Structure 1
């Protein structure tokens, strides 16, 4: 009887050890697969910022993001801020084992700021960052210095610095059973980045012609209608509307505004380079157009100098 109790106690002890080992192994696996890679919020004037990351689909790649959370009455700016404001600046020079960090900009909103058109964001914005390690077999440090403006009653400059340690290659690139919160944030932000189109794709979206009768150089852009389905039509009054943003090269400044017709926009050249400038002498006026839509946004290059006058 005593021997049976000893054997039973030994078996129970072994079972407890195995159970603890199994729980430890499960916890270790969970740590490897789902450990969040996120900094704390860094609080600034009427805003807060943080850096997030998640493993990419291939070895040596990470999906990162710079999140900026704004007070309800505040806004911050796009890469081309419009008639007012300054664009955000992201500096990754203090990172370690970093080959490349490419920041992308979600489609902005047109915001009335004291009668001026500002292009930017309200509420929460996440700038996706595609990260590539220099040596995929070594861990890395992703460090970013952020400078951005926050405007409410007045505009204030904000600086923040965030740093994350990135493992060399967690999970061997395999997708986890459930996406981490960081992956979900990155995916949602990536979906708001305009899709880049070539010339054929551009021409399928817009018609553009030069306005003969305008005093300043002006182009009319007509957005082609897209097929609508019942599910695609939004009745939300706060849903994004069709808009057009214009970015010129250094020395150029353009305004974009709604035309008289539905889904028509005017591009007006407000300022151009000196007549002896290379672009001016060649007759080229290269711009990037961002077409914001309620379901999808697009980005494409256009040489306005090559556009014929409208009939």
Structure 2
């Protein structure tokens, strides 16, 4: 079932309190955003990154934020000489928040972003409007702009470390087979995915990403049946 992607993360014990509020401007010392210009890859693309620095104890969300999180949204339409953008998310931490499970990062997020130019011979003038959530005792949505010229430069160790911290793919995780079944239930559909793969550790948590659209996915209940993760 190609539209459905599954990602696995190891459990890390963290706490916070989730809530909601209109997008707002917070004191500048709570967060700082910048675009790291990066370098040109061997494929001719630009590997840059969004760096989000947070005040101590503050957190932000992964691409699939979990039950109580706020998914990040990026709008690059204000850029010049930009054909496409792809994101290379590091593997997230797992937070238990007042009985909810959310996925994200604390203190700092370096998100590698790969840019493809319309005209490879010219620099990219990158500009984005970003909306995401940050939280400490409460969680609030914030909006900000980042921009910069992407040209020249040499590999940035910070971006390299973030790329190396990405999730393992199916081959690296030892996945040898997957079977999915869908059945109707009272308030929607139930997806059961059975993955044949070795254990990833004491605690295994499955994240089901539904892709674009107004689809809500409840937390996955996960258990082992020998060499199969269900």
TM norm structure 1: 0.53
Tell me by how many angstroms 1:149 deviates.
0.6
Q: Deviations over 1:119-175 (max 9, x none)?
A: 2222222111111221122233111222111111111222221221233xx48xxxx
SS of structure 1 residue aligned to 2:198: coil
> Of the two structures, which has the highest relative contact order with CA contacts closer than 8 Å and spacing of 6 or more?
2
Q: How does 1:76-155 map to 2 (within 5 A)?
A: 76-155=60-139
SS of structure 2 residue aligned to 1:72: coil
1:192 to 2:165 alignment: yes
1:161 to 2:145 alignment: yes
SS of structure 2 residue aligned to 1:254: coil
Match of 1:256 among 220, 223, 226: 220
Tell me by how many angstroms 1:60 deviates.
4.7
Which consecutive unaligned segments of at least 5 residues does structure 1 have?
1-41, 172-178, 234-239, 267-311
**Do 1:43 and 1:49's aligned partners in 2 also have CA atoms closer than 8 Å?**
no
Further displaced range: 57-66 or 84-93: 57-66
Q: CA 1:116 to 1:265, structure 2 compared with 1: closer, same or farther past 3 Å? A: farther
Where do 4+ consecutive residues of structure 1 move more than 6 Å? 200-203, 260-264
Q: Distance in 1 between matches of 2:58 and 2:226?
A: 30
Q: CA 1:258 to 1:58, structure 2 compared with 1: closer, same or farther past 3 Å? A: closer
**Do 2:95 and 2:102's aligned partners in 1 also have CA atoms closer than 8 Å?**
yes
Partner in structure 2 of residue 244 of structure 1: 206
In angstroms, what is the RMSD of aligned CA positions? 3.8
Further displaced range: 246-255 or 112-121: 246-255
TM norm structure 2: 0.69
Tell me by how many angstroms 1:201 deviates.
8.1
Match of 2:197 among 219, 224, 234: 224
Count of residue correspondences: 200
SS of structure 1 residue aligned to 2:175: helix
SS of structure 2 residue aligned to 1:187: helix
**Do 2:38 and 2:49's aligned partners in 1 also have CA atoms closer than 8 Å?**
no
Q: CA 1:134 to 1:77, structure 2 compared with 1: closer, same or farther past 3 Å? A: same
Question: Greater strand percent: which structure?
Answer: 2
Tell me by how many angstroms 1:83 deviates.
0.8
Question: Greater helix percent: which structure?
Answer: 1
Q: CA 1:209 to 1:79, structure 2 compared with 1: closer, same or farther past 3 Å? A: closer
Tell me by how many angstroms 1:53 deviates.
1.7
Q: Decide which structure has the larger Cα Rg and report it.
A: 1
Q: Distance in 2 between matches of 1:209 and 1:143?
A: 40
Tell me by how many angstroms 1:219 deviates.
3.1
